[in-house]
Amino acid sequence: MSIQHFLSIADLTPETLWHILELGRDLKEEWKAGGNRPLLKGKTLGMLFQKPSLRTRVSFEMGMIHLGGGAIYLSPQEVQLGQRESVPDVARVLSRYVDAIMARVFAHAHVEQLAAHSRVPVINGLSDYSHPCQALADLLTIWEIKGRLEGIRLAYVGDGNNVARSLAFAAALTGIHMVAASPEGYALDEGTVARSRALAEAGGGSLRLTTDPVEAVRDADVIYTDVWASMGQEAEAERRRQVFRPYQVNAALVAQAPPDVIVMHCLPAHRGEEITDEVIDGPRSVVFHQAENRLHAQKGLLVWLLGAMG
């Protein structure tokens, strides 16, 4: 039997994606009502980190605790993935100790190598290519607040990065119509656009690119932004600040959208750059609701991957 991994939202069918979201919703309701059943009792998640983390580490660790399991944190210094020891060897050893592996890495090739050599499911906790766990939380948040996903209009304003890519795949699979506004040279790549449009044939969503943030938000149900320079792009940060300045999500931009628009950000935020304090702390922001949903969406993912369907 082949092992099921979770490396990209694009690897899922619409039916499987909805199943994970429904599990996350049900587990959230169960937790709020008094606690989760120990569906993962006796299970352990190994967590490999190359990058610093707040939400990814705590949400996965607490998710395992809520479900009766455990988690082991492996810091960048402890493992030095691909340096002290080859990625395939790390996968071969760690997967003999734990029931699943979550990895937060720089190069997407590293999670692919882990998956290729692991005996247990591998979860992409973030890579330079995609951030699929964030997309699960985003979908759960929109679904909760707007009551649906199909037909939702999502405006992404900013860099065509890993978060935007995962959102594009997620939108395609769930019937969301996404418009991504980025400066020339910083848009989502052609491969991502093609993959998203292929996924949309099954899921009913769509993706359109523009350079005009006002056009993107005009009919939006959701405005989403992310940092202008991701981890590993520090050398470009000053140049990016100049290029992206017209793409700031501020009160003036939000005013161009319908009055019931919600504003999202995957965090951490560079306040005063891609988003202003007025917006992130304002009445349209669901940013911290979204952060909380990392916990519950990932519980759905863990229960699905580890086959604990009881």
Residues annotated as catalytic (active site), given as ranges:
104, 131, 134, 226, 266, 294
Helix/strand number for the chain, H first, E second:
13, 9
**Strand, helix or coil at 125?**
strand
Q: What is the DSSP string of 34-73?
A: T----TTTT-EEEEEESS--SHHHHHHHHHHHHTT-EEEE
Beta bridge partners of 77: none
Pairing of strands 177-181, 153-157: parallel
Tokens of 217: 């938000």
126: nearest Cα among 32, 226, 38, 21? 226
At 259, give phi and psi (nearest 5°): -65, -20
> Distance (Å, rounded) from C-alpha 111 to C-alpha 105?
7
Tokens of 120: 């247990």
Angle at 31 between CA 30 and CA 34, to 5 degrees: 90
